[in-house]
Structure 1
């Protein structure tokens, strides 16, 4: 079952006794947790029925004990449990001793008056562990992973419609380009833009560029995009703006190198018939970043990308050893790329 199906089931009153939420997309995970809270508890019940626990602070036995304790003055309890490494392959560095057997015994006969929700900020579960298999058998395990390229843009449009506004052509892409791919950040920016546009208004690309500030990483991303499209004047404009913000030229060069390395990796893996999602997983990137890198990769031959990376390596050495003025060296590099 995926998150959408699980959310639909919750709204229809079909609730599991145990949920295991995992993945790197914290915003959507928290949305599902909020849905459970709103569907299962009334405002009056929350003081007695809503419980938060952290396995970095308490043992799993305490969670089981809480789940088995009959609720006081409310029909059902909702227990959110932050997990460290009980369900993953990572090492548990805490000094708390977890008796996993207690949870396994509970899962054999979970209490019908408690809903336990484990929230794991990790991309993968350790499928070899008995506790993972037991939770999947008894309850519901849901993955919350980064949205794919087109799916992310649809999510932006949907969030805007919830705010009673719309995004014009290119505006959603501009927002992701400026603010990045984090849903929490994007949601905040969408709220701000829709407030500016007003009820029923439309947010255009120019408004996004005017109101949404770019981070250094996103500025470099845009700089490389301008280079790929031979807009060297715009690329230089971004470079000078970064210098005004007192960004270190060596850091700018390192970020440019990183982006060109990503483009080369995406181009190489695409030739090997890897899908966008597989490439994202392989090189540890958001699917949308892979989508954009793929579009940029089509504008460069592999040999040219390799040459660019070699030149950047030489430039890095000269900048760090005083062989060239850092600003002048990077400026000349950008001009040569345009030529």
Structure 2
């Protein structure tokens, strides 16, 4: 029933608008982006003061929203009623109000575009959701899996018309994580400072985002993967000296993912670059990093490392290790992985 963000964006680009939009899910980026497009496209700027109503769920109720939606636009063909943070809208969780919304959706006026931005999930079996899907758009915005982030950054840059190197992608993803809004904002911030025909590489990311091209999680992982003792300890010491900018929890998650993929590599029958890229869920450019790491870490050692990572996570959460701090946990982990 629910449409994907890509499908909705395609229709909006073609100026195919619907009278109803119910945008929901646990990934706010697409919900907010589509709402922003509707704000810019539905009502001309000169008419927005009297034909565009933007309200927040905590400040109104469903009855008031529907009352605004049923009014006629002032000397125009369309009006926009946009409800942000609709998960806080009074009445949306009440059966009687939901029935009113379903009745509205079944006879939605063509002169109003009514939009609900609902951060969180919703039961698509409810009558009002089904009615909105029939006469309008119900879109689910799902959180991306971490292994899909590099492809998302690459696609975003293609859409923006800017080239980006695989290492720059990895630096952004490793240090920013699963935050599409921040990723998109950082990329756009970089674009503003690029010269004509200049792409985004590691040096550009370091200069404009503030992520060191030498002291980042990606380089730390790479140093560990080839058992470069000096470099790994140098980066670990940098992390320990700057704990606010380099918290341990995300580092453990990234390392756990890397060594988990090494286990998959050992289990793979087809060791071709394309097959391994698919099996590991990584860009083919990075397959060589895993095959190289496999030469340095035999299978039994990887099994031990997975245990070390779980132990470090438990200590970080206070389950084990008493009063060990993040720096001490990290240094001990590096020693165990490398020796």
What TM-score results when the alignment is normalised by the length of structure 1?
A: 0.73
1:93-115 deviation line (CA, Å, top 9, x unaligned): 99999722221221121111111
SS of equivalent residue, structure 1 residue 201? coil
Aligned length: 311
| Cα distance in structure 2, aligned partners of 1:2 and 1:177 | 26
Cα distance, 1:272–1:20 mapped onto 2, change above 3 Å = farther
Where do 1:52-131 residues align within 5 Å? 52-85=54-87, 99-122=97-120, 124-131=121-128
Cα distance, 1:12–1:167 mapped onto 2, change above 3 Å = closer
How far does residue 136 in structure 1 lie from its aligned partner after superposition? 1.5
Cα distance, 1:86–1:205 mapped onto 2, change above 3 Å = closer
1:200 to 194, 197, 202: 197
Contact between 2:150 and 2:169, CA under 8 Å: does it hold in 1? no
Contact between 1:2 and 1:143, CA under 8 Å: does it hold in 2? yes
Contact between 2:54 and 2:82, CA under 8 Å: does it hold in 1? yes
CA RMSD of aligned residues (A): 4.2
1:192-246 deviation line (CA, Å, top 9, x unaligned): 323333122223223323432349xx95565345323433433322222222225
SS of equivalent residue, structure 1 residue 99? helix
The answer to whether 1:43 aligns with 2:45 is yes
The answer to whether 1:331 aligns with 2:328 is no
The answer to whether 1:174 aligns with 2:171 is yes
| Cα distance in structure 2, aligned partners of 1:268 and 1:86 | 44
| Cα distance in structure 1, aligned partners of 2:35 and 2:172 | 26
The answer to whether 1:209 aligns with 2:209 is no
Select between 254-263 and 171-180 the one with higher mean Cα deviation: 254-263
Q: Which ranges in structure 1 are unaligned for 5 or more consecutive residues? A: 274-288
Contact between 2:102 and 2:129, CA under 8 Å: does it hold in 1? no
| Cα distance in structure 1, aligned partners of 2:91 and 2:257 | 33
Aligned to 1:309: 309
Select between 225-234 and 257-266 the one with higher mean Cα deviation: 257-266
Aligned to 1:185: 182
Q: Which ranges in structure 2 are unaligned for 5 or more consecutive residues? A: 269-279
Aligned to 1:151: 151
Select between 8-17 and 55-64 the one with higher mean Cα deviation: 8-17
Select between 65-74 and 98-107 the one with higher mean Cα deviation: 98-107
2:17 to 3, 10, 15: 15
| Cα distance in structure 2, aligned partners of 1:196 and 1:242 | 28
SS of equivalent residue, structure 1 residue 44? helix
| Cα distance in structure 1, aligned partners of 2:72 and 2:91 | 32
Contact between 1:23 and 1:144, CA under 8 Å: does it hold in 2? yes
Cα distance, 1:21–1:272 mapped onto 2, change above 3 Å = farther
| Cα distance in structure 1, aligned partners of 2:22 and 2:6 | 15
Select between 141-150 and 309-318 the one with higher mean Cα deviation: 309-318
Select between 299-308 and 74-83 the one with higher mean Cα deviation: 299-308
Contact between 1:227 and 1:235, CA under 8 Å: does it hold in 2? yes
How far does residue 117 in structure 1 lie from its aligned partner after superposition? 0.8
| Cα distance in structure 2, aligned partners of 1:142 and 1:310 | 37
| Cα distance in structure 2, aligned partners of 1:234 and 1:156 | 32
Select between 175-184 and 18-27 the one with higher mean Cα deviation: 175-184
Cα distance, 1:271–1:167 mapped onto 2, change above 3 Å = closer
Contact between 1:179 and 1:212, CA under 8 Å: does it hold in 2? no
1:256-294 deviation line (CA, Å, top 9, x unaligned): 544455567778899999xxxxxxxxxxxxxxx975999
What TM-score results when the alignment is normalised by the length of structure 2?
A: 0.73
Cα distance, 1:290–1:145 mapped onto 2, change above 3 Å = farther
| Cα distance in structure 2, aligned partners of 1:135 and 1:272 | 47
| Cα distance in structure 2, aligned partners of 1:320 and 1:261 | 19
How far does residue 129 in structure 1 lie from its aligned partner after superposition? 2.0
1:139-180 deviation line (CA, Å, top 9, x unaligned): 11122234534531323422541xxx4324533333323333
Contact between 1:159 and 1:187, CA under 8 Å: does it hold in 2? no
